[in-house]
Amino acid sequence: MTAREPQAQAAAADRAALLARVFVDARVRHAPLDTLPHDVQPANAEDAYAVQFATLDAMRASIGGWKVGAKSPTGPIQGSPLPAACVHRSGVDLPRGAFHQAGLELEVAFALGRRFDPAGAPYSDEQVLGAIESMHAAIEVVTSRFSGWPHVDKLWQLADLQNHGALIVGEGVPYDSRFPFLVPAASFTFDGAPVFDGASANPAGDPRRLLGWLINHGVSRGLTFEPGTVLTTGSYTGMVFPEKRGVALGVIDGLPPVQLTLG
């Protein structure tokens, strides 16, 4: 390590902490951000991940789950920790005004049945898949701290907890490797009206391919995944934007339904 490296690392940590405070202030005040100084913009994905963890620190939030996704079956994977206060059980009523915009996604989430800590890393895909205890239907509320979203630089979005607003998790069933993860039958309604029409599919392909990356991503940063940790893996139904308050109901065949009221 050169003499300048500790200074550079300290400066990067300061930038991450500054941006995290800006994001948290925007959350608290429900005040979307128009522009931010270029000198705090993440230069790469590692900078953006540093902002994610600094944001949870600034919120004094524990990690309640994780989101992970990819834009194609072979594309790069990205993820984010989720604040515990933003992870809910099915049936929750959330105020519509808590979100600048509220895009809804119907997803498959997994819960772990064992602990993963940094001491055992790296973990193989087989180890991670063998640790899945249950699978769940989930609704993610996708939102942003930026007024111009979705027309926002991808690194800003990644730093902003990958556009996370809330995660609602349905009851689980035991993990079954025979589940049709590529093309599960699914329906998504809002106040009884369909908001999704077509064949359900995750852009990442089989979402289980994302899980090993996510576990190693977290433990490489000194984090531990406890039993019961929920990992949600991207939308099967695209993203829908309800224009009013109401009840979203997601049904994926073979899994208990998941429900969210936007009040």
Q: Which residues lie closer than 8 Å to 112 by C-beta, 6 or more apart?
A: 131, 132, 133, 225, 226, 227, 228, 229, 231
> Per-residue pLDDT tens for 8-23?
677 788 899 999 999 9
> Picking from 3-12, 52-61, 135-144, which range would have the lowest pLDDT averaged per residue?
3-12
**pLDDT tens per residue, range 74-110:** 999 999 999 999 999 999 999 999 998 999 999 999 9
Question: Looking at the domain assignment, is residue 29 inside a domain?
Answer: no
- Mean pLDDT on 154-171: 98
How many domains does the structure of the chain reveal?
1
166 against 121, higher pLDDT: 166
Whether residue 185 is predicted with pLDDT greater than 80 in this model: the reply is: yes
Give backbone dihedrals phi and psi of 125, rounded to 5 degrees, phi first: -60, -35
Structural domain for 159, as ranges: 62-262
Residue 6 has pLDDT above 80, yes or no: no
* 11's tokens: 């400066």
For the chain, the straight-line distance linking the first and the last C-alpha, in angstroms and rounded, comes to: 53
Cβ proximity of 68 and 77 under 8 Å:
yes
Residue 89 is encoded by which pair of tokens? 């059980």
* Residue 123: inside a domain: yes
What distances in angstroms separate CA 161 from CA 86, 149, 183, 260, one per listed residue? 12, 14, 27, 21
CATH at 196: 3.90.850.10
Which of the four pLDDT bands, split at 50, 70 and 90, describes residue 39?
A: confident
Nearest residue to 161 via CA among 70, 41, 77, 51: 51
Does residue 66 lie within any of the structural domains?
yes
177-200: average pLDDT: 95
pLDDT of res. 178:
98
